Copies of this chain bind each other. A is one copy, B any other.
Amino acid sequence: MKISCVKAELLAGINIALRAVPSKTTLPILESFLIVADEIITITTNDKDMGIETAVSGNIMEQGKIAVDARVFSEIVRKLPDDEVVIESDSNQKIRITCEESVFNLNGKNPDEFPELPRTENEKKIIVSQFILRELIRQTIFSISQNDNNSMMRGELFEVEGNILKVVSLDSHRISIRKEELANSYDHIKVIVPGKTLNEISKIINGDKDSIVEIAFDKNFVKFNLEGTMVLSRLIEGEFFNVEQMISSDYETEVTINKNDFLNSIDRAFTLAKEGEKKPIILEITENRLALGISTSLGSMNADLPITKTGKDMVIGFNPKFFIDALRVIDNEEVNIYFVNSTAPCFIRDNEGRYVYIILPVNINR
């Protein structure tokens, strides 16, 4: 194989491909980039849960393929001058990298040992803008469970019904639901995508409103097709929790509050929350006022915020972090919060049905 690429183009491809290089693996070949020069130049990585294949523009002087340690190769390319890089490999898997006056010689690895990315079958495809996909992930990913025994809590539901894409994540204390209208209607799709994949995808996509992603689902895999890059991920097996039955439309109290003022006050209260102590923030809702307070071994904090309220007065306690997480991703200036009683979940939701955040209260024994 012999190819040449501009350093910046090569590095851009490397930075994408690195996201599927496993940090620990029992299969050392997975710590490699598979570089293939066929009709185009591609870099492939594969951590068994997720695979990436990304194109790098450049000239192919001699077709071929080679595997090379991903971290060493990345580090070398990162340090090269901003100029043309020539990469050659021979039949003994010796690699030579030349850029200006610098020449590197590395031992490559057998490219045939690199496990091929799985092929998908009978895919159902949807199209969504990169901007929307990134927003959907950002506005739900915080409530997946990092290390729950239930693997479904480590992923997010992606469900398509007609022209509506619904994304749901939950842990044992809260649920995040985001719905978005798509430009077209599709057949029904219901899968669970690993949180890790979604985190990596949201770093790879550029987030432009004008750029699109084609998402292709089959029984076991999801494939994100971006311009020049394909990310393939295993799906999480199982029937996702029926969250619709957890959402009640009944409520006793509705509060409208300035989002930033509320978020900042809870964030201030959170400075007194100590790991392990798990003291709740207590909301006292009366006519036109929300009194917010926390009391921990470090001290106490109180604030009083103006609200618009309909319904009953209410005293209810929450883990401040859950409110902070949800309020941080809401872009509206004001939020509506719905309370049933002091032991039932509260709902933060907009009038358009684009988001619902459900948070379980803490028993405050008053």
Contact = CB atoms under 8 A, between A and B. Distances in A.
Interface of A: 69, 72, 75-76, 79-81, 95, 101-107, 264-265, 267-268, 271-272, 298-305
Contact of A299 (B104, B271, B301): B104
Contacts of A105: 299-301
Contacts of A106: 298-299
Contacts of A95: 299
Contacts of A76: 268, 271-272
A105 B81 CA distance: 57
A79 B299 contact: no
Number of copies: 2
A101 B301 CA distance: 10
A312 B305 CA distance: 80
A276 to B, nearest CB: 16
Contacts of A107: 299
Contact of A268 (B79, B298, B299): B79
Contacts of A79: 264, 267-268, 271
A303 B101 contact: yes
Contacts of A69: 298
Contact of A305 (B101, B272, B305): B101
24 contacts: A72-B271, A72-B272, A72-B299, A76-B268, A76-B271, A76-B272, A79-B268, A79-B271, A80-B268, A101-B303, A101-B304, A102-B265, A102-B268, A102-B301, A103-B301, A103-B302, A103-B303, A104-B268, A104-B272, A104-B300, A104-B301, A105-B301, A106-B298, A107-B299
Given A75-B271, A79-B268, A104-B268, 18 more contacts: A72-B271, A72-B298, A76-B271, A79-B267, A80-B268, A81-B264, A101-B265, A101-B305, A102-B265, A102-B268, A102-B302, A102-B303, A103-B301, A104-B301, A105-B300, A105-B301, A106-B299, A107-B299
